[in-house]
Copies of this chain bind each other. A is one copy, B any other.
């Protein structure tokens, strides 16, 4: 059922003009020429193509400053859409965003559990169809599908090394399989990077263009945004602070390294310790959930017990938060950022512990603290940021091939952009 995508040969100048319009919000042809350095003739040509393709609309004229009033242009937000899918052990979350990156639909469904990957991917394709149909968008208006999964990403086959609870996904060709059954081009991204981009596009960073998102879902990771685009690194695995050693003599992690932050203090570690303390098991109602329940669900139950006043649950979370605070310090020191966004369902569940602990650690230990503070924000869309970000990455791959960081280069190398379909003008 794979459709052959009709491709628009997105030349450098088309992307540059689209991105200039997106960045400005509202802009004239003269303004585009001025910010891009392209000639007036090139801008006029490209804009005509974009108007014909319905990607851009004329919204009126600027006030005259003496000469001929200038026609103002904006993106047509409903011209194209992108789908984001966040596959995590605990849940599969879907988002559809318009061309401006604003979410127009969301859907949360049960996680894969121990089902066969092939079946799960078939279900995902059906759920995507359902969501797209429910909001009445013509399928050919969908640029592509951003797919988010726990890392590390492999260029050849989705997840190569996988967390233990997703072991059956190891070496499963996730992206190519989903592209086959959905008929949409697929761009694979890791959870924390997608979450960071989701925060940026959803407005959670208030236009701060350089920041990191610390992501606590089932695992712990960081997403890095530089100049408004994702910094992905050589293989899309940048920001893997969760698998950096916090104790050189610590226990061996599933990733093979020793004393990782995630192994010492991630949600799975908190849940495992809680299981050893009958009082916490009772206070959090863990027995009722069962051992097969997702880590994020059990972790949230422990966080609720802590909020209700259970001292044991609180102590477990506080111990984890000391390590996560150091992970935050490490990210802030490496990148020298002014903002850190805390996102992911586990931060949302236990924000009463993690937010103050991380703020305190950065206030006392961020290396450049005499120069500037690091603002620590809790995401307003912690549950859906990765899915929104995955969709936004599809849009961004269209917009910003000429812009900084290695995102665009990597996406292009991966061959995804060249597959992305848009309506020919």
Contacts and interface: CB of A to CB of B under 8 A. Distances in A.
Nearest to A331: B334
B406 A403 contact: no
A336 B336 CA distance: 17
A395 interface: no
A315 interface: no
Interface in A220-243: 222, 224, 226-227, 231-241, 243
Contacts of A160: 370-371
B371 A235 contact: yes
B245 A326 contact: yes
Given A237-B367, A256-B365, A371-B235, A334 B227 contact: no
A154 interface: yes
Interface string A359-374: 0000011011011100
Nearest to A208: B234
A241 B333 contact: yes
Nearest to A13: B37
A14 to B, nearest CB: 12
A18 B246 CA distance: 45
Interface in A339-388: 364-365, 367-368, 370-372
A207 to B, nearest CB: 15
A418 interface: no
A70 to B, nearest CB: 21
A347 B364 CA distance: 30
Interface in A172-230: 210, 222, 224, 226-227
Contacts of A371: 152-155, 160, 234-235, 237
A152 B370 CA distance: 9
A258 interface: yes
Contacts of A16: 37
A149 interface: no
Nearest to A41: B39
A154 B369 CA distance: 10
Given A151-B367, A227-B406, A372-B235, A248 B248 contact: no
A219 B138 CA distance: 59
B37 A336 contact: no
A257 interface: yes
A145 interface: no
Nearest to A368: B237
A405 B407 CA distance: 12
Given A12-B37, A326-B245, A240 B368 contact: yes
Contacts of A304: none
A235 to B, nearest CB: 4
A157 to B, nearest CB: 10
A222 B155 CA distance: 28
A338 B236 CA distance: 12
A91 interface: no
Interface in A250-287: 255-258
Most chain B CB atoms below 10 A, which of A152, A248, A404: A248
Interface of A: 12-13, 16, 36-39, 151-155, 160-161, 210, 222, 224, 226-227, 231-241, 243-248, 255-258, 322-323, 326, 329-331, 333-338, 364-365, 367-368, 370-372, 403-406
23 contacts: A152-B368, A152-B370, A153-B368, A153-B371, A155-B371, A210-B233, A210-B234, A210-B406, A231-B335, A233-B336, A233-B368, A234-B368, A234-B371, A235-B336, A239-B334, A240-B334, A240-B367, A240-B368, A244-B329, A244-B333, A248-B323, A257-B365, A330-B334
Given A232-B336, A246-B248, 12 more contacts: A12-B37, A13-B37, A226-B226, A227-B406, A237-B333, A241-B334, A244-B326, A245-B330, A256-B364, A257-B367, A334-B334, A404-B405
